């Protein structure tokens, strides 16, 4: 018997976008050097290598994010244990909205989603650095 999918990916992203606070690229550009903000790149390693990352961003993948946030996980990343605002981004903003919603449910706060993702950042001329990691 075929599966009956009751909610589409578009519906899930739409719900996440409405549930998670957003920040525009125009507002985020000045935060790259802020000590009070952490940019979080949710794209996989091949995407990061192709496009580059926002300077200082924490690179995690959407598949590992929960484990990187959880302080009891062997994969925990200390970058997620700071009193800062986390700015999540992906290619266009959908995956990062879903991730930001889950991160908020886990207790990470405050978390905002970068509207338009790295595509909007790049279009606005935001700084990017070459990704040197081979991690996905």
Which residue stretches of 1-136 are H helix?
Answer: 9-19, 25-28, 45-51, 65-69, 94-106, 117-123
Residue whose entry in the numeric block shows the structure tokens 């986390």: 86
- pLDDT tens, 47-101? 999 999 999 999 999 999 999 999 999 999 999 999 999 999 999 999 999 999 9
Give the separation between CA 26 and CA 12, rounded to whole angstroms: 26
Q: What is the pTM of this model?
A: 0.92
Report the CATH number of the 11-123 domain. 3.40.250.10
**pLDDT of res. 1:** 84
Task: Return the SS3 of 108.
Answer: coil
pLDDT bin (cut points 50, 70, 90) of residue 131 is low
Listed ranges 57-61, 108-112, 132-136; the one with the highest mean pLDDT: 108-112
């Amino acid at each position: 018997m075929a599966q009956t999918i009751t909610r589409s990916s578009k519906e899930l992203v739409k719900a996440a976008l409405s549930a998670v606070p957003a920040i525009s690229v125009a507002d985020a550009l000045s935060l790259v050097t802020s000590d009070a903000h952490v940019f979080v790149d949710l794209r996989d390693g091949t995407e990061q290598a192709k496009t580059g990352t926002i300077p200082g961003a924490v690179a995690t993948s959407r598949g590992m994010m929960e484990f990187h946030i959880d302080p009891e996980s062997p994969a925990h990343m200390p970058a997620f244990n700071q009193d800062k605002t986390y700015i999540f981004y992906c290619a266009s903003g959908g995956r990062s909205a879903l991730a930001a919603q889950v991160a908020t449910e886990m207790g990470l706060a405050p978390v905002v989603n970068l509207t338009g993702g790295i595509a909007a950042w790049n279009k606005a001329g935001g700084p990017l650095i070459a990704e040197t990691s081979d991690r996905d």
